[in-house]
Structure 1
Amino acid sequence: MSRKSGITSELITLNEVDVEQRGHDNSYLENQIVQSLSWKDVTVVVPDRETKHPKEILSAINGEVAAGEMMAIMGPSGCGKTTLLNVLAQREASAKAKVSSTICINGQTPSESAFRRLSSYVEAGDALIGSLTVKETLSFAAKLSLSGVVTATERIRRVDELLQSFGLTNQASTLIGTLIRKGISTGQKRRLSVAAQLISAPKILFLDEPTSGLDSAASYKVMSYVRNVAKKNKLIVIASIHQPATKTFELFDKLLLLSGGKTCYSGSISGVKRYFDSIGFEMPLQTNPADFVLDLTNIDFESDGDVAQGKISQLQEAWTSSPEAVDEKSRIATKATSTSEPLILASEPMHRRYMTASLILLHRSFIKSYRDIVVYGIRFAMYLGLAIMMGTVWLRLLPIQSNMQPLVNCILFGSCFMSFMAVVYVPAFLEDRTVYIKDRANGLYGSTAFMISNFLIGLPYLFIIAFVSSTFVYWMTNFRPDGQAFLIWVMWMYLNLVAAESLVVLMSCLFPNFVGALALTAMANGIWMSCNGFMVQLPALNPFYRNVFSYIDYQAYVFSGLVVNEFGYRVYKCGEGPDGCWCSWDTALKDQCMIDGVGVLEQYGYQLGGTSKNVGITLGIIFGMRLMGWAAMQWRK
């Protein structure tokens, strides 16, 4: 099979590949052309915030777009543009919304999974990983969507041609931008977001405010390229757009104009002036049609609310009774009952194998981990600073009775604050989660692959942090001078950090905003610290906290392991009193003026042995928190 040159030939690769060449791999779509997308009576009802009564934010919206056409959804702020776009894209319309609609491809109603395979969505916000370069962003998008579909050479060619087409060649090696390092501009991020979705050759493309942040020239160039791709590859494009310039507006084939959740016009761009002239709202010559229709439907700044509302009602009623609306509704109904070519899709949902997707995500996370110092760099510096501070505060404590309590305090302080400082990971995880939400909605991978890669990427970094910080604390403080004891200390600190990061992931999945995740993680750490057996010994702990929190408190097992490691195998010299030797703990070594550390363990309710059991329980807690984080991501679809 011959190949055409250029990006447009690459975008139709999926349609050119013969079905027989694909075998039985369900990750491919069958050789199928999407002829049209239509929707009928799209209605969305939400509870009113004040009265709690049902409120329609979209009412009986109809429309259709043929292959190769671009439709603009326009209207004043709050008219329902994004809500309609979400409904059409099979996404959640709004919180607690009740949606009724009939959405057809080629006159047939596809399953949600089939629709996701055919479509792609570019959100208003640019969900990008700031520590990747522009080219890397496109490359990973290509790997996630096209691995096994096209060759590596073809993926590279698509990336290079998209960079050139969207004017990003000079920025190919520039970082997107992080909290610490400045990157590309807002407009360049917008162009990159659109390019990243086009790389997978979707048959239906949804764009939410694709020109936001762009000047008029950049807006025209971006939409002009999208139009060329749509025409040459029979791609359906539906975009919510706000106040485009005349040249950009004329790139679209159709307009769906909304106001107050109802249709004011749905038809060709060329027919806008003729229609509004016919209903008594004449459009002046040399006027941008986009500005005219937006001024006509926007009543937010009208002084007389009743008159303004009356005008909107007139526009809505004029459209409902117009021949154009009746004809459109009839065409949609006819297509839904016609014997059009059936939509043939693979029998099973397309999914990226967990291992393949996890490895790609692991590679992406690895790049982020060493470039973005917010991920692990700042934490390494913080933990190292804490370790040096602890080592100099609890410096060279001799194994004597008066130093036994400071040693316990050092163990408590180190284990608890290492857990507390894991909250620094919140912003980095939330960035990854934002990208994951976008990628999952576009069918690139699921929560399992995301959680596996997120967990694995942290393990080596957390071990380095645990080992380096422990090296300072352990030997400067003068804990039990034994190599095996030091490695056990490192092990418990490592488990502590892994558990603390898992707690951050769980809280960030449950409450995916910075302040909420930070507050809940800090509160949970406070509870763990209070219930770890040091502040109040377990037998004396309030039954509620003992039964609800203490058994799932990973800090309790870490503290227990560290205390046993220090006191279970060491003796301490008693103090000197007026009558000679004085020992605070009555142990078997009292007659030698020594204290057996086992006696200290008994006071705290601990005993030798059981390390393997406690390690197993801690690992179980880590697994449980990760599993709950995964479930939270599934639940918050």
Structure 2
Amino acid sequence: MSDNIDSTIDIEGNKTEQGFLLNDTVHSFSWKDLFVTVKDRQTKQMKDLICDVNGSVGKGELMAIMGPSGCGKTTLLNLLARRNPTSSAKISGHTMVGGSDIDNSSFSRISSYVEQEDTLIGALTVEETLKFSAELSLPSSTSKSERNDRVQLLLNAFGIQEQAKTIIGTPIRKGISGGQKRRVSVASQLITSPKILFMDEPTSGLDSTASFEVISYLKKLARRNNLFVIASIHQPSTSTFELFDKLLLLSKGRTCYFGPTAGVGTYFNAIGYPVPLHINPAEFILDIVSTDFSHDDEVGAFGEKANSNRTPTERLKYIHKCWQESEQARTTERQATQSPDGQNSTNMKLLVEDVASSRPAWYRIVLALIHRSFIKSNRDVVAYGIRIAMYLGLAIMMGTVWLRLHTSQEYIQPFINAIFFGSAFMSFMAVAYVPAFLEDRSTFVKERANGLYGATPFIISNFLIGLPYLFLISLLFSIVAYWLSNFEPSAVAFFNWVMWLFLDLVAAESLVVLMSSIFPNFVISLALVAFANGLWMSVGGFLVTPTILNPFWKYVFHYIDYQAYVFQGMMVNEFSRRNYSCGSSCQCMFQTELASQCQIRGSGVLQQYGYAEGRQGKWVGILIAIIAVYRLFGWIALVLKRT
């Protein structure tokens, strides 16, 4: 990796050229008496996931959280990052920056989190991913050239400059490797210039050489910028392990050791478990504190039988007891409770204020999100490409099934059937948008947790980017199906149809946004959206006319059914301006004033359904209100639901 650090990042003093206040005067990030307790599903008893964990890390230090699988590494990391570690958990304890307890909003602005799973937008290239991270995080005063310089710096530093123009990868298009995705995830968080960096398994998917290079670069960056870097890591190589300044060793949610990485061998030697020569110390201590795969009558991976007398369970209890009674533990607790002096408190306030003012303006965030979504939508066929093909297939099917309908009374019901199919099934097929929105939502959740933006810019950009694509779908579908089926042959009627279909699709997609925001699970969202559309079909006015619909369904659901307004709008559009012949027998199915001429005025059909003419403006207004309510409730769900 590159050893050069850009001048806008590596600057001594209070501020960089881009307005960032560095941690020169904030000396520690500490935590005290951390507990996470949940109710065991089997025993119904309270169980500690994290128990009485203390510690601190200094500016420019790189700390590792290690332990066996399931020991609480990620739970602790989430707790330190002020993220909800698990639902329905009882949490207690304090985390402090420079000895000061700052609010969660300020904390999210000065920290960043690299998750274990790479939540990246597959349709973007590596370079675009970093560029959009810069646009969403760097202040508006930062010039385009400065942002590009920072992007190029990180591309070179993480060894991914050769993949700059390669897409991340989608289920349909192959992109970069898993290890390269990991590097992109780390780089995209560093571009925001965080003061505290949390990383969950940053070397996951990397070979030993790449792992060493990533951690080595992070250490250099931490030293030069006085960052606090905390990473959970699983079984690093010896060379990678030695790069960390501090180690917090966990097992069963309790501290087994906290202190300098270089001192771990001395400590375990003092309590009776010396690290063998020529053995990776990380592997040895993980084996010593693990009980998951050890039986009480078996030796450990390094030939040690629980100190000849202790079972693995007893050994772990002994290690926990040794730590609790050690002078090192008492020192750690004292360091975690140190109060800041007045100068440091002032510096913390300046830090929070400076970081808050360094965020881009909200409208720039919206524009960046729209730009990013536009690129994604154009490249990712799942978002709109497949849907456009699907709707065109649906249009061809509709146009050929209801082919060249005539203006005679036996075709009145087929016309009505075609209107219902063209409106109800178009909105029903909006379920295809569920996976694309869930991907966007997962990106939003990650970026919101890192303090980049809130639910409002996300909802606004998501709504605006969908409008041109939904209009294109409505227009293409109508061009094929409308004329093949021989609806009212006039430009006014055609564009009225397009308008109703467009509003129908916008409402249907807004319903997807609402359901997927409340229940961010693919299967559940899909089922609920399908059920809701089935309900709207049943009470919309086609299967049972509003004049005879059961009062409960009519007054509770019919009037809030967006499909009902689309259906009656299309009905008025078709039948208000057409007459239909009664045939040679002159036996008219609908009695109107034209019966003496063996014709049926289309308004007679509307009267049978209880639809009045001249109310299209009112129906459009109601549809817009329904769309707004769906989006508003979706916004509320995103605000309240933090994961």
Q: TM-score, normalised by structure 2?
A: 0.94
Which of residues 344, 357, 379 is equivalent to 1:341? 344
1:444 aligns with 2:452: yes
Partner SS state of residue 7, structure 1: coil
1:315 aligns with 2:319: yes
- The aligned residue for residue 127 of structure 2 is 135
**Structure 1, 180-189 or 342-351: larger mean CA deviation:** 342-351
- The aligned residue for residue 614 of structure 2 is 609
1:59 aligns with 2:64: no
**Structure 1, 560-569 or 52-61: larger mean CA deviation:** 52-61
Q: CA deviation at 1:14?
A: 9.7
- The aligned residue for residue 591 of structure 1 is 596
**Structure 1, 582-591 or 142-151: larger mean CA deviation:** 142-151
1:228 aligns with 2:220: yes
Which of residues 254, 261, 264 is equivalent to 1:262? 254
Give the distance between the partners of 1:379 and 1:586, measured in 2 at CA: 42
Partner SS state of residue 194, structure 1: helix
Q: TM-score, normalised by structure 1?
A: 0.95
Q: CA deviation at 1:311?
A: 1.7
Q: CA deviation at 1:331?
A: 2.3
Give the distance between the partners of 2:285 and 2:22, measured in 1 at CA: 41
- The aligned residue for residue 117 of structure 1 is 109
Give the distance between the partners of 1:14 and 1:270, measured in 2 at CA: 29
Partner SS state of residue 376, structure 1: helix
Q: Where does 1:125-204 land on structure 2 (aligned, <5 Å)?
A: 125-204=117-196
Q: CA deviation at 1:147?
A: 3.2
Q: CA deviation at 1:443?
A: 0.9
Give the distance between the partners of 1:293 and 1:38, measured in 2 at CA: 24
Q: Where does 1:69-148 land on structure 2 (aligned, <5 Å)?
A: 69-148=61-140
What amino acid does structure 2 have at the position aligned with 1:600?
A: V
Partner SS state of residue 210, structure 1: coil
Return closer, same or farther for 1:221/1:457 CA change in 2, 3 Å cut-off.
Answer: same
Counterpart contact for 1:73–1:238, Cα < 8 Å? yes
Return closer, same or farther for 1:489/1:619 CA change in 2, 3 Å cut-off.
Answer: same
Counterpart contact for 1:422–1:497, Cα < 8 Å? yes
Q: CA deviation at 1:152?
A: 2.0
* Aligned pairs, number: 623
Which of residues 271, 277, 284 is equivalent to 2:276? 284
Return closer, same or farther for 1:18/1:273 CA change in 2, 3 Å cut-off.
Answer: closer
Give the distance between the partners of 2:69 and 2:548, measured in 1 at CA: 59
Question: Gaps spanning 5+ residues in structure 2: where?
Answer: 298-309
Q: CA deviation at 1:32?
A: 5.8
Which of residues 539, 542, 551 is equivalent to 1:543? 551
Return closer, same or farther for 1:30/1:159 CA change in 2, 3 Å cut-off.
Answer: closer
Give the distance between the partners of 1:446 and 1:331, measured in 2 at CA: 35
1:518 aligns with 2:526: yes
Question: Gaps spanning 5+ residues in structure 1: where?
Answer: 23-27
CA RMSD of aligned residues (A): 1.9
What amino acid does structure 2 have at the position aligned with 1:571?
A: N
Counterpart contact for 2:24–2:226, Cα < 8 Å? no
What amino acid does structure 2 have at the position aligned with 1:522?
A: A
Which of residues 526, 531, 539 is equivalent to 2:539? 531
Q: CA deviation at 1:541?
A: 2.6
Give the distance between the partners of 1:356 and 1:164, measured in 2 at CA: 27
Q: Where does 1:113-512 land on structure 2 (aligned, <5 Å)?
A: 113-304=105-296, 307-333=311-337, 335-336=338-339, 338=341, 341-342=344-345, 343-345=348-350, 346-347=352-353, 352-512=360-520
- The aligned residue for residue 17 of structure 1 is 15
Counterpart contact for 2:540–2:567, Cα < 8 Å? yes
Give the distance between the partners of 1:569 and 1:14, measured in 2 at CA: 77
Partner SS state of residue 302, structure 1: coil
- The aligned residue for residue 635 of structure 1 is 640
Q: CA deviation at 1:16?
A: 4.6
- CA offset digits 1:281-303 (Å, max 9, x no partner): 12111111111111112211122
Give the distance between the partners of 2:404 and 2:363, measured in 1 at CA: 48
Give the distance between the partners of 2:92 and 2:635, measured in 1 at CA: 30
Give the distance between the partners of 1:316 and 1:542, measured in 2 at CA: 68
Return closer, same or farther for 1:29/1:631 CA change in 2, 3 Å cut-off.
Answer: farther
Counterpart contact for 1:352–1:445, Cα < 8 Å? no
Q: CA deviation at 1:347?
A: 4.9
Give the distance between the partners of 1:34 and 1:206, measured in 2 at CA: 17
Q: CA deviation at 1:605?
A: 1.3
Give the distance between the partners of 2:313 and 2:13, measured in 1 at CA: 48
Counterpart contact for 2:22–2:225, Cα < 8 Å? no
- The aligned residue for residue 29 of structure 2 is 37
- The aligned residue for residue 25 of structure 1 is none
Give the distance between the partners of 2:141 and 2:252, measured in 1 at CA: 44
Partner SS state of residue 538, structure 1: coil
Give the distance between the partners of 1:547 and 1:299, measured in 2 at CA: 62
Give the distance between the partners of 1:624 and 1:12, measured in 2 at CA: 48
- CA offset digits 1:61-117 (Å, max 9, x no partner): 001100111110011111111111111111112101111111111111112122112
Counterpart contact for 2:111–2:194, Cα < 8 Å? yes
Counterpart contact for 2:26–2:344, Cα < 8 Å? no
Counterpart contact for 1:18–1:31, Cα < 8 Å? no
What amino acid does structure 1 have at the position aligned with 2:510?
A: S
Give the distance between the partners of 1:337 and 1:198, measured in 2 at CA: 27
Give the distance between the partners of 2:24 and 2:276, measured in 1 at CA: 44
Q: Percent identity?
A: 55
Counterpart contact for 1:256–1:265, Cα < 8 Å? yes
Give the distance between the partners of 1:14 and 1:92, measured in 2 at CA: 35
Return closer, same or farther for 1:379/1:327 CA change in 2, 3 Å cut-off.
Answer: same
Give the distance between the partners of 1:544 and 1:220, measured in 2 at CA: 67
Partner SS state of residue 455, structure 1: helix
Q: CA deviation at 1:13?
A: 5.6
Give the distance between the partners of 1:149 and 1:62, measured in 2 at CA: 40
Q: CA deviation at 1:309?
A: 2.1
Give the distance between the partners of 1:555 and 1:386, measured in 2 at CA: 18
Partner SS state of residue 476, structure 2: helix
Partner SS state of residue 577, structure 2: coil
- The aligned residue for residue 7 of structure 1 is 5
Q: CA deviation at 1:599?
A: 1.0
Give the distance between the partners of 1:357 and 1:337, measured in 2 at CA: 35
What amino acid does structure 1 have at the position aligned with 2:458?
A: F
Partner SS state of residue 611, structure 2: coil
- The aligned residue for residue 573 of structure 1 is 581
Partner SS state of residue 380, structure 1: helix
- CA offset digits 1:133-168 (Å, max 9, x no partner): 000000010111113253322211110011011010
- CA offset digits 1:320-352 (Å, max 9, x no partner): 00111111112222x226556221235595564
Give the distance between the partners of 2:126 and 2:25, measured in 1 at CA: 31
